[in-house]
């Protein structure tokens, strides 16, 4: 049986299923026999034990997990949450019931906000379960330990669980819920765990069932044939060889350089990115540093962050994006008004222009960090829709000391007038996540329209080809920094369409590097032509795959 979901990365795993324990039952709503003060003490004690445990796990795990778990530890001791618990206790409830109800209120609040915030609702559920388990002296819900390697199947994983997965035991991960931007997906990507998320039918899998987790094909195969298992094992061996291969700069088969860069949200991922062979940073998502801030960060605070990242990439290129606030990443100091369609609202450069002082301060901080370090800093603006916005941004950036200023091409309008946009700036970087969302008119966070969100769609590819052609004509770099660059086959197509560099999650670098090395510039163009000529996304991928197979088969026969 084939179960569809969203694969994270390109890995494959085979093994027996072990299911994650179901959630604790809802605490019974009965009057407490203790007085509210006593219950409040119990609740506060358990909340702080759980907060300390989460912080401790974070410190042990390091990396992005540390930030996620520290944020969870802070949530557990959030004074407004504790006030909410106390409010429920005052009505005579037990501590466990009061914790349950208080967290449920906040969870619903977050879930109702949609996007990035809604995906944090799982984090609150996890804290609530841990606190209730502690109050009831039950074991905390978590990853089972069957004593042999296994494929973990769960409804969804809490960040605390994902962070602590024993990679020697967990061969792969399948979740029934969760999208590509859930914390499970983010951490799985960072830790290179073979994962398929949002696989609704995985709920029917039972302990002991053998499954193949095929992230590259967004698929879980239940009860596979011996042939399918043998093929999966061959792919696992191939990937192990790939990971052990020496890290070299990105290039096509003839040596044409295609720099492979990292997408980063903070300086903390720099060392790992460099280890995996990142030749620089192609997208530094600066807004990730300030998602929890209530007020605009000071120039000094920003300068410190930027300097840390630029120092790690001394001698290399770093493309920083100015704050892309709005839609699924609202910053309270930039996006205050309610909007019906925030993805079409005051986001990216529009929000910054509305609060120009914040943009000025950020550009100043970036220019100061550039002057203080040896990295080559390029700065770009998100959500550019017009040539006029391009002129506005580059003029301001140059005025404030930025040497190389460019724009992200994320809207069809910017792609359609790419020749004029590129004439007004130094470089372009195509954000395929948003470009696909806006071209296909399909919300990138909405599972119900996920079938429309493929960057393989020829409509998206045609726009990318236009930008590539404009870049070649004007001699200006055109990078790709959306998730599309992390797909090894699509990466070749993108180069064939004119991309001059590719930026991605560092865990995807090895696969993309190996894929590029198999094709010449003419091969890449042939793959691109085949994809462009197709009718839809699936057909484009198939057509490119067919040309790729033809090329590699002919080469094997000739050698």
Binding site for ligand PEP (CB under 6 A): 283, 285, 324, 410, 431-434, 481-482
CB of 85 to ligand PEP, least distance (A): 36
User: Which one of Mg ion, ligand PEP, none interacts with residue 466, CB within 5 to 8 A by kind?
Assistant: none
Rounded to whole angstroms, the Cα distance separating 354 from 327 reads 16
SS3 120: coil
Q: What's the sign of the alpha-carbon dihedral 378, 381, 387, 391?
A: negative
Catalytic machinery residues: 183, 481
Nearest CB to Mg ion, comparing residues 279 and 410? 410
CA 429 – CA 516 distance, rounded (Å): 19
User: Which of these, 321, 282, 320, lies nearest to 500 by C-alpha position?
Assistant: 282
Residue 362 interacts with, from ligand PEP, Mg ion, none (CB under 5-8 Å by kind): none
Closest distance of CB 498 from Mg ion, Å: 20
Beta strands across the sheet bearing 219-222: 2-4, 219-222, 210-214, 12-19, 150-154, 170-175, 195-197, 6-8
> Which distant-in-sequence residues (6+ apart) come within 8 Å of 322 by Cβ?
286, 349, 352, 359, 362, 363, 366, 379, 380, 381, 382
Residues that bind Mg ion (CB under 5 A): 410, 431, 434
**At closest approach, how far in Å is the CB of 229 from ligand PEP?**
36
Closer residue to Mg ion, CB minimum distance, 458 or 482 = 482
* Calpha distance 284→261 (Å, rounded): 10
Task: Answer with the entry of Mg ion, ligand PEP, none that 488 interacts with (C-beta below 5 to 8 A by kind).
Answer: none
Residue 161: name its binding partner from ligand PEP, Mg ion, none (Cβ under 5 to 8 Å by kind).
none
| Residues in contact with 201: Cβ distance below 8 Å, sequence separation at least 6, in sequence order | 1, 3, 4
Choose between 51 and 351: whose C-beta lies nearer to ligand PEP. Answer: 351
Q: Which lies closer to ligand PEP via its Cβ, residue 94 or residue 503?
A: 503
Query: Closest separation between CB of residue 481 and Mg ion, Å?
Result: 8
Closest distance of CB 178 from Mg ion, Å: 21
Which residue lies nearest Mg ion, judged by its C-beta? 434
Could you tell which of ligand PEP, Mg ion, none binds residue 283, using a CB distance below 5 to 8 A set by kind? ligand PEP
If the CB atoms of residues 303 and 437 are measured against ligand PEP, the closer one turns out to be 437
Query: Cβ(30)–Cβ(218) under 8 Å?
Result: no
- Strand, helix or coil for residue 53: helix
């Amino acid at each position: 049986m084939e179960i569809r979901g969203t694969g994270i990365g390109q890995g494959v795993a085979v093994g027996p299923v072990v299911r994650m324990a179901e959630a604790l039952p809802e605490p019974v709503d009965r009057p407490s026999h203790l007085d509210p003060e006593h219950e409040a003490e119990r609740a506060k004690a358990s909340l702080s034990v759980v907060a300390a445990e989460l912080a401790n796990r974070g410190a042990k795990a390091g990396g992005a997990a540390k930030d996620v778990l520290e944020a969870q530890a802070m949530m557990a001791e959030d004074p407004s949450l504790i006030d909410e618990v106390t409010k429920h206790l005052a009505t005579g409830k037990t501590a466990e019931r009061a914790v349950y109800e208080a967290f449920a209120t906040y969870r619903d609040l977050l879930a109702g906000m949609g996007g990035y915030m809604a995906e944090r609702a799982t984090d609150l559920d996890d804290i609530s379960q841990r606190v209730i388990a502690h109050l009831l002296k039950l074991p905390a819900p978590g990853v089972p330990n069957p004593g042999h390697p296994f494929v973990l199947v769960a409804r969804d994983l809490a960040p605390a669980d994902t962070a602590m997965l024993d990679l020697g035991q967990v061969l792969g991960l399948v979740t029934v819920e969760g999208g590509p931007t859930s914390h499970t997906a983010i951490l799985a990507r960072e830790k290179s765990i073979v994962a398929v998320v949002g696989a609704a039918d995985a709920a029917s899998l039972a302990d002991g069932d053998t499954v193949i987790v095929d992230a590259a094909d967004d698929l879980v195969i239940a009860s596979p044939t011996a042939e399918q298992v043998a093929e999966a094992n061959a792919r696992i061996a191939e990937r192990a060889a790939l990971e052990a291969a020496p890290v070299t700069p990105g290039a096509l088969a003839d040596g044409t350089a295609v720099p492979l860069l990292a997408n980063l949200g903070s300086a903390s991922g720099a060392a790992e990115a460099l280890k995996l062979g990142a030749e620089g940073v192609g997208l530094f998502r600066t807004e990730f540093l300030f998602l929890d801030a209530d007020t605009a960060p000071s120039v000094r605070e920003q300068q410190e962050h930027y300097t840390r990242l630029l120092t790690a990439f001394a001698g290399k290129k770093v493309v920083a994006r100015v704050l892309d606030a709005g839609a699924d990443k609202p910053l309270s100091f930039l996006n205050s008004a309610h909007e019906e369609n925030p993805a079409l609202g005051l986001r990216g450069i529009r929000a910054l222009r509305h609060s120009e002082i914040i943009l000025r301060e950020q550009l100043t901080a970036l220019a100061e960090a550039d002057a203080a370090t040896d990295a080559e800093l390029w700065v770009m603006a998100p959500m550019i829709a017009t040539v006029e916005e391009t002129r506005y941004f580059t003029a301001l950036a140059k005025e404030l000391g930025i040497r190389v200023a460019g724009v992200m091409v994320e809207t069809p309008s910017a792609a359609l007038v790419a020749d004029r946009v590129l004439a007004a700036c130094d470089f372009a970087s195509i954000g395929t996540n948003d470009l696909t969302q806006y071209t296909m008119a399909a919300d990138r966070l909405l599972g119900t329209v996920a079938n429309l969100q493929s960057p393989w769609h020829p409509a998206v590819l045609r726009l990318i080809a236009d930008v590539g052609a404009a870049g070649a004509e004007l001699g200006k770099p055109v990078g790709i920094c959306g998730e599309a660059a992390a797909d090894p086959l699509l990466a070749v197509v993108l180069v064939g369409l004119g991309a001059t560099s590719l930026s991605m999650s560092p865990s995807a670098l090895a696969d993309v590097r190996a894929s590029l090395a198999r094709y010449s510039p003419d091969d890449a163009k042939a793959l691109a032509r085949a994809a462009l000529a197709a009718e839809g996304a699936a057909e484009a991928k198939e057509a490119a795959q067919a040309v790729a197979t033809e090329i590699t088969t002919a080469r094997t026969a000739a050698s």
